[in-house]
Amino acid sequence: MTLLTSWPESGPGSVIRRTADPVEIAAVLAPLGVRYEQWPVRADVPDDAGSETVFAAYGPEIDRLTAEEGFTTVDVLGLHPGDDPEYPVRAKAARVKFLQEHTHDDDDEVRFFVSGSGVFYLHVNGEVHAVHCEKGDLLGVPRGTRHWFDMGTRPSFTAIRFFHEEDGWVATFTGSAIASRFPDHDTIAAARERDRGAA
């Protein structure tokens, strides 16, 4: 499911590591304070399922994580092509916002992918780690970590979001253009599909 690619922060000219092994991914991310888990995939949950269906399907996992981490707010965010005439505008605006490097001063960024995919880019200790998350993957980015997120040019995902603070998603943007120097979601997702085809 997950694919981790790491480069020097100077650019993607050389690859430090590239792995789809969950054990190796966890071992790389844990020293960075990044929480990485894989939850059971509920095959009976539609890709575009609403909040009620998602909460019912993943209730035990949500309750466990909330108790462990003391989250006060949990919600479901979905963005899918379809009959919504506002989708192109909403998708473009969301991508532009999340694609800028930022930090969260008062909260972690914790997401579980119910469906679809997205790439979290973690800019830590002179390296950029691209974590391509898919259905069943949970990633927790610690507060204060420089990062950005790409959902692709045609986003299609549903994610559970966990917050310690009631304010929800509040970012401090670094002003860096670093995100423009690294492969985007679509490039990484296409490489992931080629890997699957070759397996």
HSE of 197, CA atoms in CB hemisphere, 13 A: 6
DSSP assignment, residue 39?
P
Residue 129 assigned as binding residue? no
Enumerate residues 6+ apart whose C-beta is below 8 A from 82.
48
Residue 123 assigned as binding residue? no
Nearest 5°: the CA angle 31, 32, 35 is 90
Residue 132 assigned as binding residue? no
User: Under a CB-based contact definition with an 8 Å cutoff, are residues 68 and 110 in contact?
Assistant: no
143 backbone φψ class: left, alpha, beta (φ>0; ψ -120 to 50): beta
Beta strands in 40-182 (DSSP E): 73-79, 102-103, 109-124, 127-134, 137-141, 146-150, 157-163, 172-173
Question: What is the distance between the alpha carbons of residues 119 and 87, in angstroms, rounded to a whole number?
Answer: 20
Residue 61 assigned as binding residue? no
Reference 32, options 98, 128, 174, 175; nearest CA is 128
Residue positions forming the annotated binding site = 102, 104, 109, 147
Binding site, annotated residues for Fe(2+): 102, 104, 109, 147
Per the annotation, where are the binding residues for Ni(2+)? 102, 104, 109, 147
